């Protein structure tokens, strides 16, 4: 099983990836661990490409969470058996990142590079509410739905996500 999870920041991509990797006993790749080095430094593009390609080439079953359109985006979507799009509204996402901040304050969450303590600053709030929802991002999601309609699952809220996970659990 190969599952690509994409969607808005704060929608729960990494949490869902962990749950699905347990259900399917698949290796998980959180793109935030590829993108960031300790202290929120950004890894070079060449290094990110190498690590992503290595993961894709060496795992028969995987769950990958994150958008990162410059990291084998088309390959991930093409190879995925299922593409899950978490398209929660901006205020749900803001609530979730705020809750996450208080849960992991002064620590590194499990799906982040060690040494990147959880933070919630103006720049990230602006990303969650506005910048991460650009026309380009929305168009990219529409294109994914159109191109891969037979394997895309669009989830827009917690109720839909809970139902999706319950249905998976019942089928296991």
Write the CATH number for 90.
3.40.50.300
Residues found in the chain: 172
Count structural domains, the chain: 1
User: Rg of the chain's alpha carbons, rounded to an integer?
Assistant: 15
Note whether residue 101 is domain-resident: yes
Question: CA-to-CA distance for 113 and 37, rounded, in angstroms?
Answer: 6
Note whether residue 132 is domain-resident: yes
Note whether residue 130 is domain-resident: yes
- Asked whether the beta carbons of 62 and 25 are under 8 A apart, the reply is no
Q: Looking at residue 104, what is its pLDDT? A: 94
- Tens-of-pLDDT digits for all 172 residues of the chain? 999 999 999 999 999 999 999 999 999 999 999 999 999 999 999 999 999 999 999 999 999 999 998 999 999 999 999 999 999 999 999 999 999 999 999 999 989 988 999 999 999 999 999 999 999 999 999 999 999 999 999 999 999 999 999 998 887 6
Note whether residue 163 is domain-resident: no
Note whether residue 97 is domain-resident: yes
Note whether residue 166 is domain-resident: no
pTM of the model: 0.94
Q: Looking at residue 172, what is its pLDDT? A: 66
Q: Looking at residue 45, what is its pLDDT? A: 96
Note whether residue 141 is domain-resident: yes
Q: Looking at residue 41, what is its pLDDT? A: 95
| Residue 119 domain boundaries | 2-158
Note whether residue 139 is domain-resident: yes
């Amino acid at each position: 099983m190969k599952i690509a999870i994409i969607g808005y920041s704060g929608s729960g991509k990494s949490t869902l990836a962990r749950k699905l990797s347990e259900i399917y006993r698949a290796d998980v790749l959180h793109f935030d661990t590829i993108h960031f080095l300790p202290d929120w430094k950004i890894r070079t593009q060449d290094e990110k490409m190498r690590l992503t390609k290595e993961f894709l080439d060496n795992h028969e079953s995987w769950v990958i969470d994150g958008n990162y359109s410059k990291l084998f985006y088309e390959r991930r979507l093409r190879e995925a058996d299922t593409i899950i799009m978490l398209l929660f509204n901006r205020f749900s996402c803001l609530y979730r990142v705020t809750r996450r901040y208080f849960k992991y304050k002064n620590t590194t969450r499990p799906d982040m590079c060690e040494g990147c303590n959880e933070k919630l600053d103006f720049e990230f709030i602006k990303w969650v509410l506005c910048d991460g929802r650009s026309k380009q991002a929305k168009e990219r999601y529409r294109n994914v739905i159109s191109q891969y309609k037979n394997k895309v699952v669009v989830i827009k809220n917690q109720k839909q996500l809970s139902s999706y996970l319950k249905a998976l659990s019942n089928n296991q």
